[in-house]
Structure 1
Amino acid sequence: MSQQNVSTATFHAYFGYRDAPGALRWLERAFGFETTMEFPDDQGGISHAEMRYGGFAFTLFSDRAGYDRPVRKEDTVGHGMYVALDDREHVDAVYRSAIAAAAESIWEPAASEWGNYRCRVADPEGYEWTFGTYRPGIPVEW
């Protein structure tokens, strides 16, 4: 496979939610995400929606197939979304907002052994969201 135009590639996740309309409103309230596109389906759900937060974007849809959800082992399901923020204060603020919206706390805000200040919460459908100061691809100052 050719590596042409790799610099223009972007990465976007997608999620199937059992209650996609409710998830949109919850993600707006809990994390401050902005819904930039929303296409309802004919069953009261969402056929396609897009959310943004700074330079981060993802899509979601109504899960009509009943996809399996991952099982948590110890303190994680083994995957989730990581959102890089500018500073510790922003991480703390997002954590407080998420907890106020009834997110499940997995990690309270704290520094990791590699210098990332981060927190992790689960949304009402069990998806894990980590917010931290580490930016993958940029060396950490020790």
Structure 2
Amino acid sequence: MRLDGFGLFVEDMGKMIRFYRDVLGFEIKEDENTSNVFLIKDGTLFLLYGRSDFEKMTSRKYEYIKGLNGHSEIALYVDTFEDVDREYERVIGMGAELVLEPATEPWGQRTCYIADPEGNLIEIGSFNKPFER
């Protein structure tokens, strides 16, 4: 078994697509007017699922977090500390919600947190060197 991708359940598909595509640079793989939208970022599949459609498909009702999602985060890496600050300013200027301004942590990472339009946490961080897998 291998990881294929990961996803979020969303209420406002159009708003979320625009945020991930236009603000964070994810590539959309199909029409925006579907209940499940596939996006790609750096070779990783990222799915947006319509919440109500998922509930209909599974014949179950789910409870969803309102406000900031404290259960998960999406982490994005940039090569330098300066890139953290630059990307933070850019995405805040494009409407991302501020959660934590850039700070250099005791473990040597410079990081900041923003939230998407539905409150999902997104970290932008760097160890001041190119990404290594």
**Structure 1 and Structure 2 fold alike (TM over 0.5):** yes
Paired residues of 1:71 and 1:77 also in contact (CA < 8 A): no
Q: TM-score with structure 1 length normalisation?
A: 0.70
1:23-34 to structure 2, matched below 5 A, reads 23-34=16-27
Q: From 89, 99, 103, give the equivalent of 1:106.
A: 99
1:54-133 to structure 2, matched below 5 A, reads 54-64=42-52, 65=55, 67-69=63-65, 72=68, 77-133=70-126
**Percent pairwise identity:** 24
* Counterpart secondary structure, 1:86: coil
More helix by share: 2
* Counterpart secondary structure, 1:83: strand
* Counterpart secondary structure, 2:114: strand
* Counterpart secondary structure, 1:94: helix
Work out the number of aligned pairs and report it: 121
User: Which consecutive segments of 4 or more residues in structure 1 shift more than 4 A?
Assistant: none
Deviations 1:24-65 (A, max 9, x none): 01222221222123463xxxxx32212222244311122214
- Structure 1: gaps of 5 or more residues: 1-5, 41-45
* Counterpart secondary structure, 1:37: coil
Aligned residues: CA RMSD: 2.6
Q: Give how far 1:10 is off.
A: 3.1
Q: Give how far 1:109 is off.
A: 1.4
